[in-house]
Amino acid sequence: MLEVIKNSWALLIGMLLLMLGNGLQGTLLGVRGGIESIDSATLGYVMSAYFVGFLAGSQITPILLRRVGHVRVFAAFGSLVSAAFILYGALVHPAAWMALRLVVGLCFSGLYVVAESWMNDSATNETRGQALSIYTIVQMLGMILGQLLLNVGDPAGYELFILLTVLVSISFAPILLSTSPAPMHQTTARMNIAELINASPLASIGMILLGGIYSILYAMAPVYAVAKGLSVADVSIYVTMIFTGGMVLQYPVGWLSDRMDRRHLIIALTAAGCFAAIFGSFFSNNFPVLLATALILGGTSTPLYSLLVAHANDYLPTEKMPAASGGLMFLNGSGAMGGPIIAGFLMTNFGNHWFYITIAVLMLAVCMYGLYRMTQRDTVDIDEQAPMMPITARTTAVMTEVATEIAIEQVEEDALDAEEEAEEMYEQHYDLGDEENDEPR
């Protein structure tokens, strides 16, 4: 781990600052939107624009990287993000925010690709798994600390938008001034969606629904909190608990995933998330209950992404796993685009408690579909399961494929170990047989 930090410290610092800015911007817009009396339905479109841009960026970035290279793409996207963040405070209008969020989502998709490519390029085969884990921790930590920055200025003013711009601008310095050479961009083409659904219906449908859950939970939570009348400090704590739950439970869920039928774990997590959302909708006036609900929802939804990827890999040959991971990422992004729009419409027309009800319905849908799929396909033997790697919906195809490659290597190593163990047992058996049949001279 120390070797990874030594080789990638500049990138990790830059990534942490970048995530601080990204973590703060969504919450800040939700709070400022409430101050400006923008209704939840309209803010749903604003929040959704980020996910539209992010998905578009995943298609555009590879083309730009091949044409102009990593450094120019990183500098260009970084400049656009800085400009967009400062314009948030200058152009306080839903239409302007929607356009800016679209640009920010597209640019962050490209920035993540470049950063993850550099991270992967600086790691060796022996340290790649550690690099992935550290990268994931830095991402989550940045998003958590970003929520707390909401308290250092007045959301109704201009200071926090300036802070956003400064954080993002500073984050580029350690990355662009790094002595590490720019990596080559190579990603695998996505698997055909029909083929992917046929290979793993639960992972495919689950990813679409999880995209909706994820985007509602992380984008609309500040909108809901402001609508409930929470103070700025309480809003930051509430959203922080969502990210904290995701970070804390990511690794325990991964440990369980490699030791039990993954469908059971998917069903258990979504059932717990559904119950927590229903409970939160009934007791939303109790702040400690809201915090507990946020912690559980973050903890049950965030690990589902890597869990569904691992479940799909259980039914795929190793050579198709990287392509499948790219297809699953696309399905997740497709589902994420509609989540805030649906939740915002329901919150505006039927009450703020529909924030929780929408999440509960989506969680229940994944849970019920998981139960149905268990009646349609036999369980994969636990010893034959591909290991679950720590990735989130915020990662791009680069890190998703890196995680898949690590899983493939682990599968191949386990198969080789099993083969060697079988050969050793075979040799011991026949050696023992020869000794028993030997006649004394």
Percent of the chain with pLDDT over 90: 43
- Report if residue 23 sits inside a domain: yes
CA-to-CA distance for 309 and 328, rounded, in angstroms?
7
Least confident of 93-97, 106-110, 131-135, 274-278: 131-135
- Report if residue 433 sits inside a domain: no
The amino acid that residue 22 corresponds to is N
CA-to-CA distance for 70 and 76, rounded, in angstroms?
10
23-66 pLDDT, tens digit each: 899 899 999 999 999 999 999 999 999 999 998 888 888 888 88
Please name the residues in contact with 37: beta carbons below 8 A apart, sequence gap of 6 or more. Answer: none
Q: For residues 350-380, b (16+ Cβ closer than 10 Å) or e, as one string?
A: eebbbbbbbbbbbbbbbbebbeebbeeeeee
- Report if residue 393 sits inside a domain: yes
CATH number at residue 192: 1.20.1250.20
If one compares 211 and 75, the residue with the highest pLDDT of the two is 211
CA-to-CA distance for 441 and 439, rounded, in angstroms?
6
178-192 pLDDT, tens digit each: 655 555 555 556 677
If one compares 329 and 160, the residue with the highest pLDDT of the two is 160
Q: Which two tokens stand for residue 274?
A: 């559904």
pLDDT of residue 441: 44
- Report if residue 430 sits inside a domain: no
Inter-CA distances, 404 with 41, 144, 411, Å: 38, 26, 10
pLDDT of residue 436: 53
Please tell me the total number of residues recorded for the chain in this structure: 441
- Report if residue 441 sits inside a domain: no
- Report if residue 429 sits inside a domain: no
Please name the residues in contact with 181: beta carbons below 8 A apart, sequence gap of 6 or more. Answer: 121
pTM: 0.86
The pLDDT of 150-171, averaged and rounded, is 90
Q: Which two tokens stand for residue 102?
A: 């679209």
Structural domain boundaries, residue 350: 2-421
371-393 pLDDT, tens digit each: 999 888 877 777 667 677 777 77
Q: Which two tokens stand for residue 85?
A: 């963040």
- Split into its structural domains, the chain has a count of 1
- Report if residue 134 sits inside a domain: yes
- Report if residue 329 sits inside a domain: yes
Give φ, ψ of 263 to 5 degrees: -65, -35
CA-to-CA distance for 102 and 259, rounded, in angstroms?
41
* Whole-number average pLDDT of the chain: 84
User: Is pLDDT at 278 greater than 90 in this prediction?
Assistant: yes
The pLDDT of 227-243, averaged and rounded, is 93
